[in-house]
Structure formats: structure tokens, C-alpha cells
Structure 1
Amino acid sequence: MATINCNDTLAVACHRIFAADLNEHGTLFGGRILDLVDREASIAAMRVERQTVVTATFDHVDFVAPFKIDDSMCLEAYVTGFGSRSIEVFAKVTGEHLKTGDRFLGFTCFATFVIDEPDAQVKFEQVIPTTPEQQQTCAHYADRVALRRQTRQASLALSQHIDTAFPWSNKN
């Protein structure tokens, strides 16, 4: 059985929060976190197959605590499961108040990527967790996949009722 260790997929990046990163509430723009997570999590996913991947979903997105000026944030992402062409990555962003050294959990999510090459398949059969955190995130992979399938079906049903015409057009 071909296996890969979570730590073999680990991607880590640290960033300092500056005034230009803040929204009108004095906290980091949520979109900035999502952008960073998407970039770093894709590195973890590519470490599985060494092929281009595309983002398919973000779920279990939790903005736990805000990041403010003079905080740093450390993003960690690692693979927690995969299907035949999909790769799930857990990402967390921890913060540090640089003036005090206090640390906090700021953000978590799961992102799913799909191998861009249509004929490519994930060659591994199992991801091996080593830390208690990894054991917990990997343990519920099948549950998250089932929930994603349900959500996808609901999204497809809703999309049948979405109007794609521009509101200013003369479509009747």
C-alpha cells in the first residue's frame, strides 16, 4: 500500500500584519487570509502528486480570532486525505501578538484540490498522521467527503434556478 506522511506535505509560511492589510475595523481582510491559504494549501496538495492542482472547494471555514497590526500569522497546511483525483488539505493560521509573544488560533479550514490533468490519479492509498492534531483532522476525512457530496448536490439543484442575465439587460 502506497502511503505518504502528513509531514511530507507540510507547507508553512509566516507573515507580519501591516496597516495596508487592515480593513475599516482595524483587522486583517478575510480575503487576504483566504488568498494566502489557497496559495499555501496548493503547495501541500502538489507535494502529493507533483502535478498542477486547481482549487475545488473551501469548507469548514472558521475565522476564529482577528489579526491586528503588529501581529504575525503563521500558516500551516498539510494533506488530510485524498480520492482518486482530489486532495484535501487542512490549513490553520496561528497568530502571535509580536509585542507580547501571546499566541492564538486565528483561522482554520479544509480546502480540496483536484489534479488538473484529466487522466492523472492520486498514486497514494493512505495518508499517515503523526501528531494528535493530524490524527484528529485525518480521522474524519470520510465524513467531510460525504458532506461535500451532499452540499454539491444542493448547489447543483440551486444552480438550476440562478438567473445569469445582467439585471440591466432587457431579458424578459
Structure 2
Amino acid sequence: MTKTINCSQTRVSHEHRLLMKDINDHGTVFGGRTLAMVDLEGSLAAVRMFRTKVVTASIDHINFVAPFTINDAMILTAYVTGIGRRSVEVFIKVIGEHLLTGERFVGFTCFATYVTDEPDAVAPFDQVIPENKEEKVMTAGYQDRRVARRNARQENQLLLKSMELD
């Protein structure tokens, strides 16, 4: 019997007002700051599915779509889009809001993969069920992204073997 979980059951949302400490010398948010916030939100969605500790395995399909500036808020949303045996894929988007006008825009998107660090743990669900148009689009590509990640890992192993450590 297939055990399912809805995307909404894993959804995490967080709003962050940008401060000067978030801004680089171009007047926009540091890319690394965005990635750190995205990883935190993504890991929460993964834990909601696994209900155990997880670690970040990869962040890919990274798209810095539009810059965030000091008068913006960042609205981070993450939810599970695919489930493996010991891994979970999470889609994360960051919507910007110009605080002085209320105008919203897509600023960032990515997919992140988290794995449980419990050696005997397996995913408690077999399938994630999308409930709206966006979720259907994001979950539809999971298997193709999973294969691409596996191929990239194999290629990366070859590169790592050829690297010098001095």
C-alpha cells in the first residue's frame, strides 16, 4: 500500500525583512545569505516529511531571478516535491516584496536534496501529492532531476579522484 503525504503537509514559509547586514556593496542581498536562508527553510520541509534529522546533500537548479534590496522583504516557501528511500527533494522559492509599494516578484528558486543521517531510517512515505498547479509542475520533474543528480554525482566522483590535495 502506498503511503502518501501532501505537499502542503511539508510546506514551510518564512518572511524576512532585509537589513543592512544582508546587503552587499552592490546594494543587493549577498547570494550566500540567500542560500543560507534557503537551506534552513528547505531542511524544515524535509524534517516535516522524515521526522528525523537530515543533512543537505545538494542544492541545484539555482536561479537568482531578480535582486532583493534594502526596502524589500523576502518570503521564503519550501515544500517536498519528491521522495526517495532515504532522501527527499524540496522546492524552495523566494518571493520579494517591495515594502513601499506592495509589489511582489520572483527573486530566487532552487531544488535541494536532503538525506536522513539516521543509518536505519527510511522515508515514511512513498509519494508526495501535489495539490495546486505550481506543485504539480514542480513534482512532475522529480524523476528526471533525480537521474540528473545521480549522473552528476558519478561525474563528480571522477573529478574528485583527479584532484590534488596540495
**TM-score bucket of the superposed structures, by smaller chain:** over 0.9
Shift of 1:163: 1.2
Shift of 1:19: 1.6
* 2:126 corresponds to: 125
* 1:168 corresponds to: none
Cα distance between partner residues in 1 of 2:14 and 2:164: 40
* 2:141 corresponds to: 140
1:29 maps onto 2:30 in alignment: yes
The structure with the largest alpha-carbon Rg is: 1
TM-score (norm 1): 0.95
**Aligned residues, how many?**
165
Please give the secondary structure, in 1, of the residue aligned with 2:15.
strand
Please give the secondary structure, in 1, of the residue aligned with 2:143.
helix
1:158 maps onto 2:159 in alignment: yes
Q: Name the amino acid aligned to 2:73.
A: S
Cα distance between partner residues in 1 of 2:141 and 2:132: 15
Question: What is the RMSD computed on CA atoms of the aligned residues?
Answer: 0.6
TM-score (norm 2): 0.98
Shift of 1:62: 0.4
Where does structure 1 lack aligned partners over 5 or more consecutive residues?
Answer: 166-172
Shift of 1:18: 1.3
Identity fraction in percent: 54
Shift of 1:15: 0.3
Cα distance between partner residues in 1 of 2:19 and 2:127: 40
Cα distance between partner residues in 2 of 1:137 and 1:70: 30
* 2:82 corresponds to: 81
1:10-42: CA deviation from partner (whole Å, max 9, x where unpaired): 010000111221111000000011000111110
